[in-house]
Amino acid sequence: SQQGEEDPQALSIQEGENATMNCSYKTSINNLQWYRQNSGRGLVHLILIRSNEREKHSGRLRVTLDTSKKSSSLLITASRAADTASYFCAPRRGAQKLVFGQGTRLTINP
């Protein structure tokens, strides 16, 4: 199964700054998904980028995908306290089960 490796493991920034986290994976994919998890809650699907796409936007989120480097990045602009959460990437290959990496723990300081 496919598993993403997120980097950094932890990130602490000031409110209003941009946050960037990265994901690397090992094999070819159909799409790559990003999820957010607030402490003790369920995961929320943020954005999906297909293998033939290079960049996608959703509100303050920008995701890029470089299939040649097998990597993706998630940029959160103008961060808010509510963005404090763990972020997981999930590379998806066909019907393969979705496996989550260790995630990036993002802390937004007021």
Partner 1 sequence: DTEVTQTPKHLVMGMTNKKSLKCEQHMGHRAMYWYKQKAKKPPELMFVYSYEKLSINESVPSRFSPECPNSSLLNLHLHALQPEDSALYLCASSQDSERGRTGELFFGEGSRLTVL
H, E, C per residue of the chain: CCECEEECCEEEEECCCCEEEEEECCCCCCEEEEEEECCCCCEEEEEEEECCCCEEEECCEEEEEECCCCEEEEEECCCCHHHCEEEEEEEECCCCCCECCCCEEEEEEC
Any idea which residue has 């990130």 for tokens?
11
Name the site residues for partner 1 (rule: CB under 8 A): 30-31, 33, 35, 40-45, 48, 88, 92, 94-95, 97-103
Between 13 and 43, CB nearer to partner 1: 43
- CA atoms in the 13 A half-sphere facing the CB of 78: 2
Between 5 and 15, CB nearer to partner 1: 5
Minimal distance, residue 12 CB to partner 1, in Å: 16
Between 44 and 78, CB nearer to partner 1: 44
Minimal distance, residue 57 CB to partner 1, in Å: 17
Between 3 and 77, CB nearer to partner 1: 3
Minimal distance, residue 105 CB to partner 1, in Å: 8
Minimal distance, residue 16 CB to partner 1, in Å: 27
